Amino acid sequence: MLKKTIIAGSFISLSLMFAAGAQAAVSAQEADRLGKELTPFGAIKEGNGADIPAWTGGIQRDDIPSSYTRPGQHHPDPFANDRVVRTIDNNNKHRFADRLTEGTKALMETYPDTFSIRVYPTRRTTAAPQWVYDNVKANATRAKLTPTGVENTKGGIPFPILHGTNEEKALQAIWNHMLRWRGVYVVRSASEVAAQKSGSYSLTTTQQEVYFPYYDPKVPMTELENIIFYYLSFTTAPARLAGGAVLIHETLDQGKTPRQAWGYNAGTRRVQRSPSHVYDTPIAASEGLRTVDDTDMYSGAPDKYDWRLVYDEPVEMYIPYNNYRLTSNELTYKDILQKGHINSEYPRWELHRVWVVEATLKPRERHVYHKRVFYIDADSWQIASVDKYDRRGDLWRVSMAYIKNYYEVPVQWTGLEVFYDLKSQRYHVQQLMNEERSTLDFTQPVPNKNYFSPAALRRRGR
């Protein structure tokens, strides 16, 4: 009873804040800045006059390298001729401290002989189809936060221009990440590993499908049914796990309808609901190195935390960006995975503007992370890195998204996601596709939504 009272009180306080009228959409005049002095996603279009250039449209389909010839092909690097501007490691990190996340510096300190970042010229590659830009501009004048989600939004980030109180701006930034453009329907085969302190690991491979009704032009806002995406994943290797599956319905307002999840057990041939697939529940394939809401850098309901925008404007920081070499099929998993962290030779880092958002656990709430600090790319609203602190205030874990543009769409997304545990000196890697025949395929026909039902999951499993 006490827990229910606390949660209800939290929602009531949020309801009062929003009911007071503090959160309203921006004016049409303000939204008209999008695509002019601001990019269509709301970032500052001009450069900094030194090492960040102006945004001039990103990588569009007309810019695709001629060597890219089929859907799902590993991407030829459009910047293969770029040279390293500087290398930063534990010995010289103090010179660049204000442009490094705390997690990046901690990795340098934990692995002083092997972890470094190679900084390349900044390439502002974020791009999306024009219809997405049109939806973003429409959302700017209509989207609103609710106590447990967002409303009046469809087909684009809801808040390209942050506004309102500091807490509202922070929540808007997080919702922009969770509702960022990632295509309409995506299919991929990928592997993940939990690398041990010794450097040993074993692969788990899955076939994944994600359908985003939120971005489907054929689904009007009135028929969205509170769904952001449907996610379906079947394990294909190793043999002892093959056939197991996970189905997720991710909702736009989890106060109205919580996330729904089901698991299929190949041994029993049964589909069971997974109500615990929320918050800090450990992911089995990660061997406890990743929680459910760590997935995609952050996902799910944000109600356990108090949110704060650390700076009023984006700040310049080094983040992983344009990681075509790291995701190339010219590399093997053995090339990438090493003791302590992925091989520092292959990731590409660049200087970009990022929003810094801090989440602190609310009193009486429970979560393994007492505080999280998110570094969100201002151009794409993709979370690039997360610092996660334990109850004692010690930096415990660091997540990194190795971003690139899937220019055949175009869409800015991650090529690899890595979750580091500084204390155990283990790490978890998702979306390894270097040794797969294809990467993400955005060209498959969109299935009927019934394809993502528990009944369909049962039939497919059998």
Q: Which tens digit of pLDDT belongs to each residue from 219-251?
A: 999 999 999 999 999 999 998 888 899 999 999
The pLDDT-based confidence of 1 (bands split at 50, 70, 90) is: very low
Other CB atoms closer than 10 Å to residue 184's CB: what's the count? 22
DSSP 155-182: SS-S-SS--SSHHHHHHHHHHHHHT---
The pLDDT-based confidence of 269 (bands split at 50, 70, 90) is: confident
Burial degree of 18 (CB within 10 A; 0-12, 13-18, 19+): middle
Mean pLDDT of 134-144: 98
Mean pLDDT of 433-448: 94
Mean pLDDT of 371-389: 98
Q: Is the pLDDT of residue 268 over 90?
A: no
**Is the separation of the CB atoms in 120 and 351 below 8 Å?**
no
Helices then strands, each counted (H, E), the chain: 7, 18
- Here the tokens at position 63 are 């810019």
Q: Is the pLDDT of residue 5 over 50?
A: no
Residues of the chain above pLDDT 70, percent? 95
Local structure of residue 75 (DSSP, 8 states): P
Mean pLDDT of 152-181: 98
DSSP 202-244: -EEEEEEEEE-GGG-TTS-GGG-TTEEEEEEEEEEESTTTTT-
pTM for this model (two decimals): 0.94
Position 7 scores a pLDDT of 40
Position 462 scores a pLDDT of 62
Give the whole-angstrom CA distance, residue 442 versus residue 455.
25
The pLDDT-based confidence of 11 (bands split at 50, 70, 90) is: very low
- Here the tokens at position 122 are 């900044």
Burial degree of 106 (CB within 10 A; 0-12, 13-18, 19+): buried
Position 146 scores a pLDDT of 92
The pLDDT-based confidence of 23 (bands split at 50, 70, 90) is: low
Give the whole-angstrom CA distance, residue 204 versus residue 374.
28
Q: Is the pLDDT of residue 10 over 70?
A: no
Beta bridge partners of 270: 265
Q: Which tens digit of pLDDT belongs to each residue from 390-416?
A: 999 999 999 999 999 999 999 999 999
- Here the tokens at position 117 are 């970042």
285 vs 55: which has the higher pLDDT: 55
